[in-house]
């Protein structure tokens, strides 16, 4: 699975869009980009994933560059409850029982 | 409500004692996983199970044991052989066969924080 690079921390003002970047320059053609988040002392929560097209759901949008070497997770109107560690994971479509590899992620602080 | 439960949320043990962490899911998922998380770190895979009565070692299986006698349950035993057992333990599950869904994301339980003194 491709390695990812994320900034260790970011701040965002409440009500503004939070844009979390992820670099995955060694991504291969069959690898997906997944985003999870972990609020303090809780289990990680799935947010969104994509292959090459931009994706949007009720939680967030995922923008993947045309060359697929980087992506951005967008929380359109960040709230205090969005303060969490956000993990970008690149991997092939999970085969039978394979795990996700969670790196250190980005600690997002939403400020009032 | 469907989900994954882990109990207890906090667990304290003396060094040298084995301890078993509970994980139950009612999502009808085939695959289940145990991860360990240390402060400021990502998750590391301990064991995973794709199907009942089968399980595989992850990256840091030494000092741990598991069983998968029922689809819904995947308990983890932290043995006295685990040198640094104090950590946050997370259980997860996912589908593992193509059922017409696009994704195989993992669903996580709330975690158990184990402290060994």
Q: How many CA atoms lie within 13 A of A51 on its CB side?
A: 8
CA distance B18 to chain A (A): 23
Is residue B100 scored above 50 in pLDDT?
A: no
CA distance A60 to A57: 6
CA distance B3 to A62: 26
pLDDT band, very low/low/confident/very high, at B20 (cuts 50, 70, 90): very high
Best of B104, B107, B109, B113 to substitute, by most chain A Cβ atoms within 10 angstroms, is: B104
pLDDT digits (tens, 9 = 90+) for B49-84: 988 999 999 989 999 999 999 999 999 999 998 999
CA distance A91 to A87: 13
Q: How many CB pairs under 8 A join A and B?
A: 61
CA distance A46 to A4: 17
Hey, is A80 helix, strand or coil?
helix
Give chain A's residues under pLDDT 70: 1-2, 93-99
In order of A103, A107, B35, B48, B84, the CA distances from B38 in angstroms are 12, 15, 10, 19, 10
B23 DSSP β-pair partners: B6
> Is the Cβ pair B48, A103 closer than 8 Å?
no
């Amino acid at each position: 699975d491709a390695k990812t690079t994320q900034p260790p921390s970011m701040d965002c003002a409440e009500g503004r869009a939070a844009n979390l970047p992820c670099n995955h320059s060694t991504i291969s053609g069959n690898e997906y980009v997944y985003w999870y988040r972990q609020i303090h002392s809780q289990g990680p929560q799935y947010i969104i994933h994509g292959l090459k097209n931009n994706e949007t759901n009720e939680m967030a949008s995922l923008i993947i560059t045309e060359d697929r070497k980087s992506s951005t997770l967008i929380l359109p109107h960040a709230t205090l409850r969005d303060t969490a560690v956000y993990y970008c994971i690149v991997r092939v479509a999970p085969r039978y029982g394979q795990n996700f590899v969670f790196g250190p992620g980005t600690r997002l602080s939403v400020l009032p | 409500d469907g989900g994954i439960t882990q109990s207890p949320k906090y667990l304290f043990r003396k060094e040298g004692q084995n301890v078993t962490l509970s994980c139950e899911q009612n999502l009808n998922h085939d695959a289940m996983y145990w991860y360990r998380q240390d402060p400021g770190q990502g998750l590391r895979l301990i064991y995973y199970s794709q199907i009942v009565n089968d399980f595989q070692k992850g990256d840091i299986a030494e000092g741990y044991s598991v069983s998968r006698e029922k689809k819904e349950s995947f308990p983890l035993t932290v043995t006295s052989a685990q040198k640094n057992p104090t950590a946050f333990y997370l259980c997860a599950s996912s589908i593992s066969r193509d059922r017409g869904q696009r994704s195989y994301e993992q669903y996580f339980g709330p975690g158990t924080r184990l402290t060994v003194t």
